[in-house]
Structure 1
Amino acid sequence: MSDVRSDPYLIVSSDCHAGLPTEQYRPYLESRFHRDFDDFLAGQGRRREEMTRLGVRNEAFADTWFKDNEEGLRGGWDSAQRLRELDGDGVAAEVVFPDADAVDSRTAAPFGVGLGLSGDQDPELGMAGAQAHNRWLAEFVGGHADNAARHCGVALLPITAEPAKVVAEIHRARESGLGALMIPSMWVDKKPYHDRRYDPVWAAAAETGMPVVTHSGAAPRHEYGDHLGIYVSEVTWWPARPLWFLLWSGVFERHPGLKFGVAESGCWWLPNQLWFMDRLYLGAHGGKKLSPFAELKRPPSEYLDRQIFICATNTKRRELAQRYEIGVDNILWGSDFPHPEGTWPATRAWLAKTFHDIPVAETRRILGLAAADVFGFDTEKLAPIARRIGPSPAELGQCEDQSAVEASWARSREVGRHWLTEHDFPVLGASS
């Protein structure tokens, strides 16, 4: 019989990053765009200087970061080094987003369509840059058959382009071996995501089984000036915003096979948002003057449990304390490798500090099994890797007496979504 404290965790990071040094994308870009690409490359130095002037880039930090992590950072595009870094962190598999370099943008996809993917890009150049990255990524994640099971590549999808071209890119990306789709967090001056023009895109994503994800990065930076506190205060709001556009417009009802996630934006905002949306749908007094929500057939929380997930990178203790409101299976942990705001290269220590008092069964879901379900990882193929590299519950300092751990969380689990269970809100002096 296995020991609950010795069986290693099968860890899947729902948020990692990879990308070529930008100039090396040229062979993956159609030749008719090479002149535009040269212009884009020529402006990189100017963009870096502007980032430094605004305070977005800290030159002293950048110098230290690249010096101290030179070898590991090569894992952003070197597959052999990448596997060494994943092994060191105890990560058996990963979901791979663009832009390995989040400090100097030296691995930006052509024409800025990586984490800065937005609705204001030139439609033709945006699609060309996305396809260049997608071609390289398909090679990168599938280049070594023995390790292909460890990676799910996320295709860049400029969804505000002409719908037929967007649908074609979904199928091309799927056939190339990529497993998910990243859409812009911001549509800027294009049609918002409640518009029916996107229905063929949602249908194609559901048909191919490719989860659709937004990711933190894009924001109206021109509005902030050098006031970085403003930027940081709302940068995670933009990728979350499409969620309620899709939900209230009935996208999840019309496309029940569609999976949608929000990455690297935390999940601290979700409990209150979910409470508010459920109460609105269920007839809260403040919503009675509004038109009926005819597009929805069930409360928002039911769509969340059926189709929505949160890639909660670098998940915080506060967020784990809210997991019964969010839903344990809706929280997908991520390391953010190789970005400095993530847990790499000290993931094992970070996990011990964060999950030491979380029940083992729930930890297994949050750290890997939930992500394996969403992104279609083969856990049987990953199991030998997990046994070789995965940290055990004992290594995370988790108590051998799991019955006591479960009992310590019993009241929170019982209350759950207090607005549905009709329990008192578990905060002193407050009520539901």
Structure 2
Amino acid sequence: METFPKIISVDDHTVEPPHVWRDRLPSKYRDVAPRVVRAPLKEMTFLGGRFAPVMGERGDDGPVGDWWVYEDLRRPLTRLDTAVGYDRDEIKLEIITYERMRPGSYRVPDRLADMDVNHVQSALCFPTFPRFCGQTFTEAADRELALLGVRAYNDWMVEEWCGPEAGGRLVPLTLVPLWDASLAAAEVRRNAARGVRAVAFSEIPPFLGLPSIHGDAWDPFLRACDETGTVIAMHIGSSSKMPSTSADAPPAVGSTITFANCCFSMVDWLMSGVFERFPKLRIMYAEGQIGWIPYILERADAVWKENRAWGGVAEKVLRPPSELFAGHIYGCFFDDAFGLRNLDAVGAGNVLYETDYPHSDSTWPDSRRVGEEQMAHLPPETVHRIVRGNAIDLLGLTPEGLWAG
């Protein structure tokens, strides 16, 4: 492709530097707020979709790394958090320190430099320690501190990670206190007032012990997103339950079917009636890929047409699900040649591009080459729309593709 558009990635990741909560919470919380300690690893497994690290004591044998400590949580930094730049066969489940991490994972100037290498202009970044939609704070016992932790993360995201040093190239994605829909709505509005147009949410909230979207429990939050033009961004794994088949299935099984939760989630939203109640609401599925979408839409339309009388949706889903999808839902991909060959069945206006930096699946530093190869059959205007145009519209960026705050 002669001129491939500069990429706007709607799914990259930041690894929070150690000072995020230390600098933004009252001093009385210093010993209980999220903090980094260096300690040995006793053991670590990742089976059946469950990540299980065990922190050792000072003086124990075992590899030493940096751990986030918060209440009962002990979460180590691992090579999977920041894998770009390593040969695929060298990327293993191992504990690391910040010094062994690619600096672009947590430093703005280095991130911008790595974006330049990858033909990326702008990037929206999901969290690491808070997890993809803030589950870490949702699971905390001290709700007062958890709320402060969510707000502190958002302040860091807006003011520092996406601050002046980023020059508009880093686009903020904020969190909400998922345990209270009214508090969540207030946080959406607080951040929308400073130009934020994306908020993280769980793909399947009941997996977190939260209400489903089939009732009205989330209406204050959904109304805030609808009224402020804030897109709801759901990343694979934002339900804290990665798909798997058995307790002893290796990670490769779950990695192959990571799209499954997005699939289940999208059907939930299409059959919920939410889009009828909130007509300006838009949602996106980060790292879910797009190749599976056409069949799900075909099947959902058939069920809506043939079975809606007894299927519990006749009174609340008033249009075919595929029509709702076209007006409200975005699929995100970084490596999906099959999906692109079937783009007409998805819709060029409903697709966003991503690079997944710095994770092991990332196409960095070859995102341009991958895109050129997989989109070679598409007209230039369609490529532009997928690679950056849709993201500009969805995230409220400037015509140049920058976040203006």
TM-score range, shorter chain: 0.7 to 0.9
Q: Distance in 2 between matches of 1:118 and 1:269?
A: 32
- Would the aligned equivalents of 1:75 and 1:85 in 2 still touch at CA under 8 Å? yes
Q: Distance in 2 between matches of 1:279 and 1:178?
A: 37
Q: Distance in 2 between matches of 1:244 and 1:119?
A: 24
Are 2:21 and 1:25 aligned?
Answer: yes
Are 2:331 and 1:337 aligned?
Answer: no
Q: Distance in 2 between matches of 1:180 and 1:364?
A: 21
Q: TM-score, normalised by structure 2?
A: 0.77
Alignment partner, residue 175 of structure 1: 193
Q: How is 1:365-404 mapped onto 2 (pairs within 5 angstroms)? A: 365-380=385-400
Q: Distance in 2 between matches of 1:310 and 1:222?
A: 18
Structure 1 residues 351-406: Cα deviation after superposition (integer angstroms, max 9, x where no partner): 23322232222111111111111111112465xxxxxxxxxxxxxxxxxxxxxxxx
Which structure has greater helix proportion?
Answer: 1
Q: TM-score, normalised by structure 1?
A: 0.73
Aligned residues: 360
Residues 94 and 230 of structure 1, relative CA distance in 2, 3 Å threshold = same
Q: Distance in 2 between matches of 1:57 and 1:9?
A: 41
In structure 2, list runs of 5 or more residues that go unmatched.
54-62, 64-77, 88-98
Residues 92 and 41 of structure 1, relative CA distance in 2, 3 Å threshold = closer
Q: Distance in 2 between matches of 1:95 and 1:324?
A: 26
Equivalent residue letter for 2:388: G
Q: Distance in 2 between matches of 1:364 and 1:75?
A: 26
Q: Distance in 2 between matches of 1:293 and 1:126?
A: 40
SS in structure 1 at match of 2:358: coil
Residues 34 and 222 of structure 1, relative CA distance in 2, 3 Å threshold = farther
Are 2:175 and 1:156 aligned?
Answer: yes
Equivalent residue letter for 2:287: E
Which structure has greater strand proportion?
Answer: 2
Q: Distance in 1 between matches of 2:147 and 2:265?
A: 20
1:264 maps to which of 261, 266, 287: 287
In structure 1, list runs of 5 or more residues that go unmatched.
100-107, 383-432
Q: Distance in 2 between matches of 1:78 and 1:215?
A: 22
Q: How is 1:23-102 mapped onto 2 (pairs within 5 angstroms)? A: 24-37=20-33, 41=36, 49-51=43-45, 62=79, 65=83, 68=86, 73-99=102-128
Residues 250 and 31 of structure 1, relative CA distance in 2, 3 Å threshold = farther
Are 2:247 and 1:225 aligned?
Answer: yes
**Stretch moving more, 225-234 or 163-172:** 225-234
- Would the aligned equivalents of 2:330 and 2:350 in 1 still touch at CA under 8 Å? yes
Equivalent residue letter for 2:363: T
Equivalent residue letter for 1:302: E
**Stretch moving more, 192-201 or 137-146:** 137-146
- Residue 210 of structure 1: CA displacement? 1.0
Q: Distance in 2 between matches of 1:255 and 1:222?
A: 30
- Residue 67 of structure 1: CA displacement? 7.7
Identity %: 23
Work out which of the two has the higher radius of gyration on C-alpha atoms and give 1 or 2.
1
Q: Distance in 2 between matches of 1:273 and 1:243?
A: 9
- Residue 173 of structure 1: CA displacement? 2.0
2:228 maps to which of 196, 203, 208: 208
Residues 199 and 227 of structure 1, relative CA distance in 2, 3 Å threshold = same
Q: How is 1:403-422 mapped onto 2 (pairs within 5 angstroms)? A: none
- Would the aligned equivalents of 1:97 and 1:154 in 2 still touch at CA under 8 Å? yes
Q: Distance in 2 between matches of 1:220 and 1:292?
A: 27
